[in-house]
Structure 1
Amino acid sequence: MAASPSALRRAGNEEFRRGQYGPAAALYTRALALLEPAGEAAAEERSVLLANRAACHLKDGACRLCVEDCSGALALAPFGLKPLLRRAAAYEALERYGLAYADYRTAAQVDGSARAAHDGVGRMAKALLERDGVNWRQNLPPIPTVPVSAQKRWSVPSAGAPGANTPPATALQGEPDQTAAGTERARTLKEEGNELVKKGNHKKAVEKYSESLKLNQECATYTNRALCYLALKQYEDAVQDCTEALRLDPKNVKALYRRAQALKELKDYKSSIADIKSLLKTEPKNTAALRLLQELNRA
């Protein structure tokens, strides 16, 4: 009896775990061929298989094939974390840093606790700054805004190697008790983060804020985590968190000020000045902002 797509996928995963990437890719290809007639009905399973085959290509150094498979996986199931990260890694290896930056940034929106995404953003920002100078942001490809429905909000167990592409869990709809419990848990985690900040433990505070944001996206939690990233000199992460906060509250003073601070450290003085000027429209007498503007004008 012919093997089913799920059996071929399991066999491919086993080959992958053994480091047999070529045979694993061949098994995923066979499974994809069996699923092709099902069309949209098997879109999610096909996306997983393409992401798994992409992992094989990445391991074998076939970066262009990895990009192709990840793009196919994302077309079938948009905002999959693993195909985004794998495509970003392939772009990075191909020195297509702008495209890699966009994918890492998108992945960080999907899952704010994904360390690989944040680390990738930082690496690509540094590479782009060195290559293109302080105006490197002007040459970036569009970075999509990830809808809340596609963002990882609840912790889910790992599905195993090479990374079955489990769709990000979302806040439970129509179950107010569980939603309320999640919101309360998010508040507790944020308060724990605040206490850690007072003790100067910014790294641990980031972990608490990240857990809180999985459960409830709140502007203050983003700006608090941005403060920690500033203290840790993770300036790209600080910019990203402030941008997320401003998406929720476009005139938020803390977000504008902290993003301006981070942009100053990244030597993006033009963008930093723009943020301070926006802040001063809301609070014209904000002394910290006025002081930072003076520093920026001298830079």
Structure 2
Amino acid sequence: METLYSVGNLWNVHENGAMTQKTKVKCWLELKQAGNDRFKAGQYGEATHFYSQAINQLKKDSPKNVEDLSVLHSNRAASYLKDGNCAECLKDCNVSLELVPFNIKSLLRRAAACEAQERYRRAYVDYKTALQIDANIAAAHDGTNRMSKALAEADGPTWREKLPPIPTVPLAVREKMGRRCAATSQQNGATQSHKPAPSEEDVRRGRALKEDGNALVKRGEHAKAVDKYTQSLRHDPAQAATFTNRALCYLSLRQFHDAIRDCDEALNIDGANVKALYRRAQAHKELKDMKACMDDLRKLLEVEPTNTAGIKLLRELQKK
């Protein structure tokens, strides 16, 4: 078994110029581990100090090791965020994402820092970008919901038009990051399932089947449209619009429980989806669950306060 050096001894060996490549790796890795230990203990200032040393050491020893350097900047960003230093957190997240674009942890930490600074548009974009990579991230869903409400209050019903562009995550990146998330989940004993990102062919086929379903809806053939939307979702299951379209068909077919399930799925993907909230409210109304119906309408109007259909249905219920 190889002897593990203490952080102090490693630095002494380096200063004496007698450090092998293997020992160099141990040096920054142990500095990183020291930072991790301090972070877990809630000693964020000390964690920042050790991460900074690890970054400097790795830059000297392996400047082309961009993945590990990105992780170190992301870790230091987490320490800064815990200490309330959002400005430094943002700097580290930006460096991390320049080194390795679409690093999920860096996206989420940058979103949290932007949210703390009330830069809600930027935070919304980062949360939504993270969801492209892994649609199961609860923190990203919750963040998207909070930002949607805050932006609707600040900018009114046209808030989406004022957003910066949301970058499209390349398929190769989605697949790579998705595999990492799945591996991390297994290592941590997590039970949450992570579905692999659909291929470009699946996305193309799913879109074509969705369009076929839309054409059938226009002709009033809702049962046939349900079949097309179901086939579409087999190819591309992360499309909220396909779920809300199928929910519309279920409403027309008076399959209200199915409509609610589809709206739930759409809201798991996009917690601020107005169509899902409205159609779920309609289904609850038909099932005589007026409390659930009104709850959905209130949530809808928090996201889009001037939604005419939502206002009309809520007033109708209040009169009753």
- TM-score scaled by structure 1? 0.59
Counterpart residue number, 1:71: 94
Counterpart residue number, 2:137: 114
Q: CA deviation at 1:85?
A: 0.5
Q: CA deviation at 1:240?
A: 10
Counterpart CA distance in 1 for 2:148 and 2:121 is 9
Q: Percent of counterpart pairs with the same letter?
A: 41
Q: 2:170 aligns with which of 147, 167, 172?
A: 147
Q: 1:157 aligns with which of 184, 189, 193?
A: 184
- Structure 2 residues not aligned, in runs of 5+: 1-9, 12-25, 189-193, 200-232, 248-259, 277-296, 314-320
Counterpart CA distance in 2 for 1:133 and 1:15 is 43
Instruction: Give the 4+ runs in structure 1 shifted more than 6 A.
Output: 168-171, 219-222, 261-265
SS at match of 1:126: helix
Counterpart residue number, 2:271: 237
Q: Which amino acid aligns with 2:142?
A: D
Q: CA deviation at 1:141?
A: 1.1
Q: 1:127 aligns with which of 150, 157, 165?
A: 150
Q: CA deviation at 1:138?
A: 1.6
Decide whether the 8 Å contact of 2:156 with 2:305 is kept in 1: no
Q: Which amino acid aligns with 1:153?
A: G
Structure 1 residues 222 and 233, CA gap change in structure 2 (3 angstroms): closer
SS at match of 2:157: coil
- Structure 1 residues not aligned, in runs of 5+: 162-167, 174-212, 243-260, 274-291
Counterparts of residues 126-275 of structure 1 (less than 5 Å):
126-151=149-174, 152-154=177-179, 155-157=182-184, 217-218=236-237, 223-224=242-243, 228=261, 230-231=263-264, 234=267, 236-237=270-271, 239=273, 266-267=303-304
Q: Indicate yes or no: 2:53 matched with 1:30.
A: yes
Q: CA deviation at 1:220?
A: 6.9
Decide whether the 8 Å contact of 1:153 with 1:216 is kept in 2: no
Structure 1 residues 147 and 222, CA gap change in structure 2 (3 angstroms): farther
RMSD: 3.9
Structure 1 residues 147 and 238, CA gap change in structure 2 (3 angstroms): farther
Counterpart CA distance in 1 for 2:73 and 2:261 is 37
Counterpart residue number, 1:57: 80
Counterpart CA distance in 2 for 1:218 and 1:70 is 30
Which has the higher Rg, Structure 1 or Structure 2? 2
